[in-house]
Chains A and B, each alone.
Chain A
Amino acid sequence: MSHYFAADLQALPLSVFAVVLAITLAVTFWASRRTSTATEFWAAGRGVSGFQNGFAIAGDYMSASSFLGFAGLIFLFGVDGFVGLVAALVAFLPVLLFMAERMRNAGKYTFADVLAFRLRERPARVAAAFGTLAVVFVYLIAQMVGGGALILALTGISFTPAVILVGAFMLIYVIFGGMLATTWVQIIKAGLLMTAGVVITLWVLAEVGFNPAELFDRAAAEHPDGAAYLEHGLQFDSSIGLVSFGLAFLLGTAGLPHILMRFFTVPDAKAARGSVAWAVVLIGSFYIMVMIIGLGARALLGQGGEEAAGTAGNLAVPNLALELGGGEGSAGGEVFLAIVAAVALATILAVVAGLVISASGAMAHDLWSNVVRKGHDSEKEEVVVAKLAAAGIGVAAILAAVVAGEGFNVSALVGLAFVVAASANFPAILLALLWRRFNTTGAVTGILFGLVSSTFFIIMSEPVWPGEDNSPIGSLALDNPAIYCIPLGFLGCWLGTVLSSESGAERSYDELNVRAQTGLGAEVGGEPVVDEERRPVGAST
């Protein structure tokens, strides 16, 4: 089967791709006529319904790695692949309980808005913008490299043009259509992904007579490790490594800037919590389907399918689609494969667009408007800078992905993105919302501790040091060091707070707490009710 994915152009997948791209361009054109103000550009005019935003969150969150990556890991290593899926879903509970409504009530375009309410604005925004850009840029490169390699395998477009294609469309959506186009690309993608998931899952279950026990028996029988395929421990060689990996997903999601940004697009707090509920339903059911699809790939493709699935198993699902449709050369197989390939492409596009728009928020809204220009720029200028920032970040990510090349191990990058989100962004946001004594120094040191420790431990991790056990910190090295970095991030927040003598911040905690919990003075329906520059006496502006 492997020669099917050779580097010659595949007409059928390419034509389905073209249809998907044409639809997204039409959406962008429609959205571009409704996007001119800053609120429209970053927050889709706050007119996205809770139901729509639930789909968009699912579309923003479920990257190609959820669909193809996790299914591939389950194909290769069995039930260890479930852990990432479970952690990535449960991660929405902290988002629901502590983030979604408070973000919506107290923020405007970025999570830095919430920090800036009660902390000294400039240091808080600079620190939060660095946390955002670190997560987004690393995640963006990982997505572009992974996406380029996937498009190469599925359509035969070679790596560099594939990356440029993804980057170009991403920039078209964001620059012309802003958050409205990004949102609808994400909604369309979530719809396509769910549909593909349901079809493949039902097809797999039909193959085993809708008897789950048979699915497990056949999958284990097709794996060289037999029964161990249904026990944990095949993928992760250390138990602590597995726990650390789970924690990174659990707490990282609540610090992902592009996910938090989605809550600014809905009209009120009720829609914000409703959108998380829809996202939890969609993502949860999709992840259960991914488990079944991964097992199905093992049961139906068997050990013989490993070579064609690639080193990380990313192509297990496309191969499964080909097999279910009737096998290589059959019309059914090729059509089904082409559809799955197009869904994968839509998935990549929706995620990278969401990442770029959140990076543009950090650069234009946080750094340019509120730090460099101190709030004295016009709204028109803010939108122009936002588009320039998006273009700059997009081009930089395209170049970085092309330089890194198709063989680059992106798992370390994805790990880094989640660890930074969990250890730099999450502690600072959570404590700003909940801890009265928290202050600016605490936020800055916390974000710094999180960023530095994540970078250090990722550089020390095994994938960076080729060969066996070559890491300078020996057995302490973890592929995903969240278990060290999250406590360090919280420690930084605490130390910075108790060692500094600021108390001026405390006054505005009252304001943030009231606003976050009641929605008083929240931004509504496109026009701000209370300007965000209105600050209590004593806070710096």
Chain B
Amino acid sequence: MASAPDDDRGSDRIDWVGIEGSPEFRELAASRRRFLVPATVFFLAFFLVYLVLTAYAQEFMGTEILGMPLAFLLAVAQVLMAWVVTALYLRASDREFEPLERRAAQAAAERFTTRSPR
């Protein structure tokens, strides 16, 4: 699209490489990774166990508990799992990641943005 060649904060130069290496951004990235890696391993394992059971333990999935087959209970458990992981991610985002994002943005504005004269 033919818009102005630079952003609306004048022609500020932003040092993206500098921000990426800054302690503030590294802390944000590390904190996010500490959540994402275990969460991903958990949800993938939880789902794949279910998928493999549906494919290779087919009669076992018919086992009834309180009159309901495991196939149904485990399917519902997957939905509950998705809700729990989502809730945990939202909580971590609000409590941990967002303050770190603000700190990284502040560092970026203070140390890695060169203001050009307008």
Give the interface of A toward B (CB within 8 A).
38, 78-80, 82-83, 85-87, 89-90, 92-94, 96-98, 211-214, 216-217, 227-228, 230-233, 236, 239-240, 242-243, 246-247, 250, 270, 273-274, 276-277, 280-281, 284-285, 287-288, 291, 369, 375-379, 382, 507-508, 510-511, 513-515, 517-521, 527-534, 536
A90–B17 CA distance with the chains assembled, in angstroms = 35
> Are the C-beta atoms of B71 and A510 separated by less than 8 Å?
no
> Are the C-beta atoms of B5 and A93 separated by less than 8 Å?
no
Interchain residue pairs A-B with the least CB separation, the first 9 = A213-B67, A231-B62, A79-B71, A511-B16, A510-B20, A239-B55, A232-B58, A530-B7, A233-B58
> Are the C-beta atoms of A228 and B62 separated by less than 8 Å?
yes
- CB neighbours of B71 from chain A (8 A): 78-79, 82, 230-232
Pick the most buried of B4, B86, B105, B108: most chain A CB atoms within 10 A of its CB: B86
Task: State how many angstroms separate the Cβ of A486 from the closest Cβ of chain B.
Answer: 13
A276–B93 CA distance with the chains assembled, in angstroms = 13
Number of residues in B with C-beta < 8 Å to the partner?
Answer: 61
Given known A87-B51, A96-B89, A242-B54, contact A378–B69 (CB-CB < 8 A): no
> Are the C-beta atoms of B90 and A277 separated by less than 8 Å?
yes
Task: State how many angstroms separate the Cβ of A335 from the closest Cβ of chain B.
Answer: 31
A375–B2 CA distance with the chains assembled, in angstroms = 6
New contact pairs (8) apart from A270-B98, A529-B7, A530-B9, CB-CB < 8 Å = A90-B43, A94-B40, A280-B82, A377-B2, A382-B1, A511-B17, A514-B20, A517-B104
Task: State how many angstroms separate the Cβ of A268 from the closest Cβ of chain B.
Answer: 11
A98–B5 CA distance with the chains assembled, in angstroms = 30
> Are the C-beta atoms of B82 and A284 separated by less than 8 Å?
yes
- CB neighbours of A87 from chain B (8 A): 47, 51
> Are the C-beta atoms of A533 and B68 separated by less than 8 Å?
no
A98–B14 CA distance with the chains assembled, in angstroms = 25
> Are the C-beta atoms of B29 and A98 separated by less than 8 Å?
no
Partner of A528, one of B3, B43, B75, B108: B3
- CB neighbours of B105 from chain A (8 A): 518-520
Task: State how many angstroms separate the Cβ of A98 from the closest Cβ of chain B.
Answer: 7
A471–B68 CA distance with the chains assembled, in angstroms = 39
- CB neighbours of A83 from chain B (8 A): 51, 54, 75
Task: State how many angstroms separate the Cβ of A357 from the closest Cβ of chain B.
Answer: 17
A377–B62 CA distance with the chains assembled, in angstroms = 61
Task: State how many angstroms separate the Cβ of A378 from the closest Cβ of chain B.
Answer: 5
Task: State how many angstroms separate the Cβ of A110 from the closest Cβ of chain B.
Answer: 13
> Are the C-beta atoms of B82 and A93 separated by less than 8 Å?
yes
Partner of B83, one of A227, A280, A520: A280
Pick the most buried of B51, B52, B85, B93: most chain A CB atoms within 10 A of its CB: B51
A236–B56 CA distance with the chains assembled, in angstroms = 12
- CB neighbours of B82 from chain A (8 A): 89-90, 92-93, 280, 284
- CB neighbours of B40 from chain A (8 A): 93-94, 97
> Are the C-beta atoms of A273 and B90 separated by less than 8 Å?
yes
